[in-house]
Structure 1
Amino acid sequence: SLLVLPPLSIPASCEGGSQRPPASADPVGACARRCPRFICTPRRAAERRMSEQGKGSASTSAAAPAPGSDTYKGWLFKWTNYLKGYQRRWFVLSNGLLSYYRTQAEMAHTCRGTINLATAHIDTEDACNIVLSSGGRTYHLKASTEVERQRWVTALELAKAKAIRMMNDQSDDSGDEEPASQSDRSEIQGTLKTLVSKLDDLSTCNDLIAKHGAALQRSLSELEGLRVPVEGGEKIKAVNERATLFRITSNAMINACRDFLDLAETHSRRWQRALQYEREQRTHLEETIEQLAKQHNSLERAWREAPVLSASTPKGSERPLKEEASDEDEDTEYFDAMEDSPAFITVTLKDLHAHCYPHTSTLSQVSPSCNDLSGKELQPRRQRRTHIPDKPNYSLNLWSIMKNCIGKELSKIPMPVNFNEPLSMLQRLTEDLEYHELLDKAARCDSSLEQMCLVAAFSVSSYSTTVYRTAKPFNPLLGETYELDRLEEFGYRSLCEQVSHHPPAAAHHVISQRGWTLWQEITIASKFRGKYLSIMPLGAIHLQFHSSGNHYVWRKVTSTVHNIIVGKLWIDQSGEIEIVNHRTKDTCQLKFSPYSYFSREVPRKVTGVVADSGGQAHYILSGTWDDKIESAKIIQSSRGGSGSEGKQKTVYQTLSPKLLWKKYPLPENAENMYYFSALALTLNEQEDGVGLTDSRLRPDQRLMEAGRWDEANTEKQRLEEKQRAVRRRREGQTVGCKLEYEGYQPLWFHQRRNSITGETNFVYKGGYWESKERQDWSMCPEIF
């Protein structure tokens, strides 16, 4: 019973799938014609699609099991779900267990599932289908031909009978205790030592038999050649002596073999039971780990989608959960999913240099050169507001307004304030500075590559405020401005101005006493496509650090608002960002993965690679645009295998990732305050001394924030008509004077050609903050 039969070699048709079905073979169509129970269902439709795959793919056949064979392998089609239908899988039947893999290469590292045949029920739906039921789960398998199906059924029935027989033998054994106690382990070790000693005795006896047997053979040969009777007697005596020695040695060997056999028979069942127990434990652990992985994935999704607001979890409307594809989800890849992954794979190694990165901090240390913000932050000198009036519960039919606007620019659609939030686009643009401390920290970095990581995290952080913000900001009036003076609290000043109305464009300039300046001109191009709204920000963002002179340039990705007509609105970001340091030529490639119902990737995923001027990668960035970004230092890279699209992937070995940015939790009651962040709540707060064109002074926006939406709609129409009248008057004056119309000239910004990008855009020309100190706003137009 100790003997283990070696697996027989399987023909190439089984291992490699070289045999192809005949051209007329239709594994599903033939079954349909022969089986009257074949009806049209979604799964049947998938089977018909599967048959087309089987015609052009490698054979799904497997060799018939030879007598005594313990292993059977081959290709079968396995039903996964109603979206993917039947998928081709590599099945291995061994020791009463049926395991399956996506490819033969996966046998070395990833098993997709295992079925214990001892407790499984084997059934056949039609001439090509096999149905296995085990542990409350049902597996639908399909062979390419009826003959192939019969071979598998025969192999499965034999394996099941053998597994049941082995289970019964184990139950008949009186020693039913699990070999997990210390005494059992000691006994097994002692038995193994005894067996080793007996095996050594057999080896010694074998050597003696070989030696004496050779001598006996020589003596017999000499005996045959003798002719003298006297000598014959002596030789016969010698033969007898050697034969006696041979007999004694043989008896000793036989006795040793008998002892070995008795000992093996005594303990063989115990060892088989121990081995089977360990196999069951392994299978149970695999199933448990798989289930835990699924539960972890579901809990993580549920946490991200949860609308319940707690002290640490932001509340808010969210896009719908990605529906589970089927109740049988073992095809979900938790270890090596590659379908939507970037063109690189990371392998995290243990960081040998231990650092302490406090979990409560928004920023983590990238290196000693990027240390803390001088140990403390300046405390705000004025108390900012922490709430605004709750949003009124007004209902409005969006389709009645949007149905005639398909294909038009968003800025040209007359929208009531019911779809707005009480902030202007200039204030939304200023929200990019919510995580300005990332730039404060980057300004103190000595390494340009580490500085690039923080700049990349800052570029991603600006999207975190959009995840729940499905309302539309107010379109700024031409000449409207917005200032954010945080010089005393955080060391920076920000100014925005609407420099163009068609197309709408805003210029933004920020200067910080902590070593950086940021400026941008953003033009919003938007299209309503019926089911979704695409918002494409055009224009470059410039960031320059004073001490090093590093000049970074990047552009924003596309934002998409889904479920415009039916369902709950949700926002997605997709596209790529390339950040370039024009002084050192370092680059960072960031990819915002679009949401896909069929993707297994984490929603809102962002990945990136930071490389030097020579193209060598130094850091891997990963995270989500609504939660956090981490960086991992690359210590080694190599070319990996081809991915699902045939592209060769680069394998990066990295140290443990370090947290760069973490989103702040939303304030309490945020769901009733337009899901504003703590910064957004303060943006429309009234302040003294601001310019006469500041967004805080816009009456329709102020009325909407107070909940007086009917009055806000009336005021909004008045302001828009006033703006159109001013434009007609300005254009009419220029025509009447026969002057060339040069268009509107902004007050605080002027156009200049950028030497780096070659583009002509609006940059700050100065004078605003000096006018604020003098409180001289005589140059400001009356737009409200």
Structure 2
Amino acid sequence: MKVVLTKPLPLDAESDADYKAPNLLNRILSLFKNVRPGSDLTSFQLPPLFNFPKSHLQCYGESVYCIGSDLLSQCNRAESSLDRFTSVVAWCISTVRPVVFGVAPYNPILGETHHVSSGSLNVLLEQVSHHPPVSALHATDEKENLEIIWCQYAVPKFYGASVEAVVRGKRQLKLLSRAETYEMNSPKLSIRFLPVPGADWVGNVKIKCPENGLEADLCYGATSFLGLRGNLKSINGKIYETSTKKTLYEVNGQWDRTVKVKDISNGKVTVIYNAKEVISGLKTVAVKDLEGVWASESTAVWGELSEAILSKDWDKAREAKKIVEEKQRKLLRERESRGETWVPKHFTANSTKDGDWDCSPIQTLVPPAPLVVPF
């Protein structure tokens, strides 16, 4: 088993040598020459040249366990409900990470897992569906008495000069000692080819907690005066009471710099999020127990391919990716011949009437992982 561990995406991911995309705009556009505008790209396969050495599962997981400041503990330890809610807003912002234009993570295979511990926080992800590609995340921290449950999948569509990926699914952060559940969604990912290539998070995010009666509306990549496009990394919004709609805090800033809240009652401005503290200097996950690594682990499933991409051996990369894909097709044929359907190992997963998905962890607690974030 070859486990290949890659460093987390840094704040300045576009300039990172390992993940920086070569000048591939013409090649990228050529990929979509036979794709109609408005087409769903969920099943679209990229050649290895357009991948960077990570699975989507790893990227989702890193947004939870790779963090420079202990924002989760702050969520739990704040005494007032408003302070806890504001801390959750800051943590929600921290899960938005840099995107590198021109390259993308691997599409996880069915049953792929990613299991990592960071201190007392244990995180487990599983790919619970392949069509559509649904990823589930469960994280628990017994010390802080909190739990995270995500179920999400991206629906990318091609619009001629851009691709927009709507990230569907529900995200929950549970502060168990406070008996509070915070629900939130994810912004959309916008990838532009013309006139200026780039990738940014855009759209609206709502965070709400029924138990303390508070909500937040955040707008990523907000428009400026007269409706013109403003700073694409900006965040504007508010924190307010659910029952009265009374605004308590105004929120503004940039998710790649700082985000502040302004107390409406007294005008006081406070920085609640500093991207340099949260996303800079992140440490690469290390192997603590190689024998404990599952065969379904992302870093093992894609180990040969990641190694080839990092060494820019594209012939080897194509062969490694082909081996993984052919193995999956073979397993699918075998299941179909036996009349079997895939059942996730760590989650129950069901599609809902509105076309969304609901994922629930089977275990109450996530066990410590064989892969760990070094102190």
Please tell me the TM-score bracket, short chain as reference: 0.7 to 0.9
1:726 partner letter: L
2:183 partner letter: V
Whole-Å Cα distance in 1 between the matches of residues 197 and 285 of structure 2? 24
User: How much has 1:476 moved relative to structure 2?
Assistant: 0.6
| Secondary structure, counterpart of 2:251 in structure 1 | strand
Of 258, 275, 295, the match for 1:663: 275
- Matched with 2:50 is 419
2:359 partner letter: F
CA change 1:477–1:569 in 2 (3 A) is: same
Q: Give the CA RMSD over aligned residues.
A: 3.3
Whole-Å Cα distance in 1 between the matches of residues 219 and 369 of structure 2? 41
CA change 1:543–1:393 in 2 (3 A) is: closer
Of 460, 465, 468, the match for 2:93: 460
Whole-Å Cα distance in 2 between the matches of residues 411 and 677 of structure 1? 31
CA change 1:532–1:502 in 2 (3 A) is: same
- Matched with 1:497 is 126
- Matched with 2:146 is 516
- Matched with 1:744 is 342
User: How much has 1:471 moved relative to structure 2?
Assistant: 2.0
User: How much has 1:500 moved relative to structure 2?
Assistant: 0.3
CA change 1:582–1:501 in 2 (3 A) is: same
User: How much has 1:394 moved relative to structure 2?
Assistant: 8.2
2:233 corresponds to 1:586: no
Whole-Å Cα distance in 2 between the matches of residues 582 and 481 of structure 1? 32
Whole-Å Cα distance in 1 between the matches of residues 271 and 368 of structure 2? 42
Q: Is the 8 A contact 1:685 1:696 kept in 2?
A: no
CA change 1:500–1:760 in 2 (3 A) is: closer
2:106 corresponds to 1:474: yes
Whole-Å Cα distance in 1 between the matches of residues 185 and 104 of structure 2? 21
Whole-Å Cα distance in 2 between the matches of residues 527 and 390 of structure 1? 24
Whole-Å Cα distance in 2 between the matches of residues 604 and 441 of structure 1? 24
| Secondary structure, counterpart of 2:77 in structure 1 | coil
CA change 1:574–1:702 in 2 (3 A) is: same
Equivalences for 1:24-43 in 2 at 5 Å?
none
More strand by share: 2
2:284 corresponds to 1:682: yes
- Matched with 2:6 is none
CA change 1:504–1:761 in 2 (3 A) is: same
Of 198, 203, 210, the match for 1:570: 198
Q: Is the 8 A contact 2:55 2:106 kept in 1?
A: yes
Whole-Å Cα distance in 2 between the matches of residues 510 and 598 of structure 1? 40
Whole-Å Cα distance in 2 between the matches of residues 719 and 402 of structure 1? 24
1:763 partner letter: S
CA change 1:632–1:390 in 2 (3 A) is: closer
| Secondary structure, counterpart of 2:171 in structure 1 | strand
2:62 corresponds to 1:438: no
- Matched with 1:535 is 165
CA change 1:437–1:695 in 2 (3 A) is: same
Q: Is the 8 A contact 2:140 2:366 kept in 1?
A: no
Q: Is the 8 A contact 1:748 1:767 kept in 2?
A: no
More helix by share: 1
Equivalences for 1:749-768 in 2 at 5 Å?
749-751=347-349, 761-766=358-363
CA change 1:470–1:389 in 2 (3 A) is: closer
Q: Is the 8 A contact 1:606 1:622 kept in 2?
A: yes
CA change 1:575–1:392 in 2 (3 A) is: closer
1:412 partner letter: S
Query: TM-score with structure 1 length normalisation?
Result: 0.41
Whole-Å Cα distance in 2 between the matches of residues 579 and 469 of structure 1? 28
Q: Is the 8 A contact 2:222 2:236 kept in 1?
A: no
CA change 1:316–1:731 in 2 (3 A) is: closer
User: How much has 1:749 moved relative to structure 2?
Assistant: 1.1
Comparing both chains, which one has the higher relative contact order based on Cα–Cα distances under 8 Å and sequence gaps of 6 or more? 2
1:660 partner letter: I
CA change 1:389–1:766 in 2 (3 A) is: same
CA change 1:717–1:764 in 2 (3 A) is: same
User: How much has 1:768 moved relative to structure 2?
Assistant: 8.9
CA change 1:404–1:665 in 2 (3 A) is: farther
- Matched with 1:696 is 299
Q: Is the 8 A contact 1:427 1:683 kept in 2?
A: no
| Secondary structure, counterpart of 2:284 in structure 1 | helix
Q: Is the 8 A contact 1:389 1:707 kept in 2?
A: no
User: How much has 1:409 moved relative to structure 2?
Assistant: 3.3
Whole-Å Cα distance in 2 between the matches of residues 507 and 683 of structure 1? 20
CA change 1:424–1:678 in 2 (3 A) is: farther
User: How much has 1:515 moved relative to structure 2?
Assistant: 3.0
Q: Is the 8 A contact 2:202 2:232 kept in 1?
A: no
| Secondary structure, counterpart of 1:607 in structure 2 | strand
User: How much has 1:678 moved relative to structure 2?
Assistant: 4.1
The number of residue pairs the alignment matches comes to 350
Larger Rg: 1
| Secondary structure, counterpart of 1:626 in structure 2 | coil
Q: Is the 8 A contact 2:222 2:229 kept in 1?
A: no
Whole-Å Cα distance in 2 between the matches of residues 707 and 684 of structure 1? 23
CA change 1:419–1:594 in 2 (3 A) is: farther
User: How much has 1:431 moved relative to structure 2?
Assistant: 2.3
Q: Deviations over 1:134-173 (max 9, x none)?
A: xxxxxxxxxxxxxxxxxxxxxxxxxxxxxxxxxxxxxxxx
2:320 corresponds to 1:715: yes
User: How much has 1:388 moved relative to structure 2?
Assistant: 8.3
Unaligned residue ranges in structure 1 (runs of 5+) = 1-312, 319-386, 636-653, 667-675, 735-740, 774-784
Q: Deviations over 1:239-294 (max 9, x none)?
A: xxxxxxxxxxxxxxxxxxxxxxxxxxxxxxxxxxxxxxxxxxxxxxxxxxxxxxxx
Of 217, 228, 252, the match for 1:599: 228
User: How much has 1:442 moved relative to structure 2?
Assistant: 1.3
CA change 1:771–1:552 in 2 (3 A) is: closer
CA change 1:567–1:719 in 2 (3 A) is: farther
User: How much has 1:391 moved relative to structure 2?
Assistant: 6.4
Q: Deviations over 1:563-605 (max 9, x none)?
A: 1xx5653112222111110212211111224467973744422
1:451 partner letter: R
Equivalences for 1:277-288 in 2 at 5 Å?
none
CA change 1:607–1:427 in 2 (3 A) is: same
Equivalences for 1:181-220 in 2 at 5 Å?
none
User: How much has 1:560 moved relative to structure 2?
Assistant: 0.3
User: How much has 1:401 moved relative to structure 2?
Assistant: 2.1
Equivalences for 1:86-165 in 2 at 5 Å?
none
User: How much has 1:766 moved relative to structure 2?
Assistant: 2.2
